[in-house]
Amino acid sequence: MSQAPKIGLVSLGCPKALVDSERIMTTLRAQGYSFSRNYEGADIVLVNTCGFLDSAKQESLEAIGEALNENGRVIVTGCLGIEEGLIRETHPSVLAITGPHQYESVVSAVHEHLPPVPNKFLDLVPESGLKLTPRHYAYLKISEGCNNRCSFCIIPQIRGDLASRPAGGILAEAEGLVRSGAKELLVISQDTSAYGLDIKYAESNYRGRPVKAKFYDLAKELGQFGAWVRLHYVYPYPHVDQIMELMADGLVLPYLDIPFQHASPKVLKAMRRPAHQEKTLNRILNWKRQVPDLTVRSNFIVGFPGETEEDFEMMLDFIEEAEIDRAGCFKYEPVTGAPANELEGIVPDEVAQERWEQLMEVAQNVSAGQLSKKVGRTIDVLVDDVQPDKNVAIARSKWDAPEIDGQVIVANADGIKPGDMVSVTVTGSDEYDLFAEPVKAVQAA
Ligand code: SF4
């Protein structure tokens, strides 16, 4: 019997690219391919690239170069795939190049250069597809593309306009993920709160009943599966107010990831950010009054062209006044093809660096203050990892998304396993993490 052809996969970029990689893997596995963890064992290597920033492009080109050196047979896909000329110029020997979310094209390219063997592995593909995340949490992509035109971003050029998935398909996928062991669903897209706009909130069937492709309706339905539902990339549009009732009812986690990027109206206008005209501070304070446990995570950009000291101070005040629990920050980086490159008022590197340091300090103080309020509380945490030598479990609370937020370090973790949901008492906190002890026996996974 011939052996299954083996594919090596290098996945770069954001969670959306990760989901693309999972879909490609799932399709190929269902067709009888297997996967190699190293270059030597692979018959061919797929590189799923990122093209968001120039530094990400460079990293992608380097990853392609490494795969060519180590293996020699390379197919490129993902966001950088739209720049075929650039890839061919740097690496003329790549076998094929396809763009973002072109699953069929990348799969055909694999067929062409590494034909499949007769399919005898179908039954080995789990219901949830193949995942690059641990079994206990999963990303759920609800749409592709974006209708906004932020001046620093080329994602709409790369990924196109908003294209929402029908609600029925998303719910069926979510149900399968939960049945396969996911205890947390992380809803992602480029603009989650705009979900359904492009398909006029069309109804589709889920278990014989119609469900609208609407942000609120989808979130409410997802809440019925009993898993944690975490919303990422939400913009503070007025209709997001409705989600607070779902949080208060425990259907959706009291957590919103809102990439504000700035707080000065002038800079937000120059950035052409969605919802920039809204009274955002009041909106967040209202949300926090309704759902006192609400954690807001955000990202900010310092050094955007034209940003003055006054604009920057406005951003610091906003982080403090809105009590942005988790804040990340980038220094502005011009992206080839982005309209913001034409703007005047370049901020010198050293000023941007100084502002970055200042912002991170303010954000850290706010985070430390917010976390210290949790000490003494009993909360549920989801365990990601255990360190038996230290008798410690590394877990997350409802306030922590994987990879980007803090952790809950649980002491006396005898018998606790990754994927367990454990009730703990918070005993301490620092700038980003909580420290805790289990309060009762571990609940079985
Ligand atoms: S919302 Fe703005 S930054 Fe986000 S993907 Fe759309 S255009 Fe880019």
Does residue 150 have a known ligand-binding role?
yes
CB 269 within 8 A of CB 276: yes
Q: Are residues 195 and 265 in the same domain?
A: yes
pLDDT band, residue 112 (cuts 50/70/90): confident
Phi, psi angles (nearest 5°) of residue 4: -65, 130
CB distance 384 to ligand 1 below 6 Å: no
Listed residue (21, 49, 16, 17) closest to 35, CA to CA:
21
Q: Say which residue, 382 or 19, is predicted with more confidence.
A: 382
Relative to the CA of 261, which ligand 1 atom is closest? 3
Q: How far is the CA of 302 from the centre of ligand 1 (A)?
A: 17
pLDDT tens for each residue of 235-268: 988 899 999 999 999 999 999 999 999 999 999 9
pLDDT tens for each residue of 365-423: 999 999 999 999 999 999 999 999 999 999 999 999 998 999 999 999 999 999 999 99
Q: Residue 294 and residue 284: Cα distance in Å, rounded?
A: 9
Distance of CA 161 to the CA centre of its chain: 19
CB distance 347 to ligand 1 below 6 Å: no
pLDDT band, residue 124 (cuts 50/70/90): low
**Residue nearest atom 4 of ligand 1, based on CA coordinates:** 190
Give me the numbers of helices (H) and strands (E) for the chain, helices first please. 12, 20
Q: How far is the CA of 149 from the centre of ligand 1 (A)?
A: 6
What do you get for the CA distance between the two ends of the chain, in Å? 39
Q: Are residues 238 and 350 in the same domain?
A: yes
Domain C-terminal end among 372, 398, 415: 372
Q: What angle do CA 396, 398, 401 make, to 5 degrees?
A: 60
Q: Are residues 26 and 106 in the same domain?
A: yes
| 294 assigned to some structural domain | yes
Q: Are residues 15 and 85 in the same domain?
A: yes
* 244 token code pair: 């607070």
Give me the domain span that covers residue 263: 137-372
Q: How far is the CA of 191 from the centre of ligand 1 (A)?
A: 7
Relative to the CA of 154, which ligand 1 atom is closest? 8
| 443 assigned to some structural domain | no
| 96 assigned to some structural domain | yes
* The pLDDT value given to residue 121: 47
Q: What angle do CA 155, 261, 431 make, to 5 degrees?
A: 120
Q: Are residues 178 and 41 in the same domain?
A: no
Q: Residue 323 and residue 196: Cα distance in Å, rounded?
A: 30
Domain C-terminal end among 124, 148, 170: 124
Q: Are residues 388 and 284 in the same domain?
A: no
Q: Residue 402 and residue 388: Cα distance in Å, rounded?
A: 21
Domain count, the chain: 3
CB distance 22 to ligand 1 below 6 Å: no
Q: Are residues 143 and 247 in the same domain?
A: yes
CB distance 338 to ligand 1 below 6 Å: no
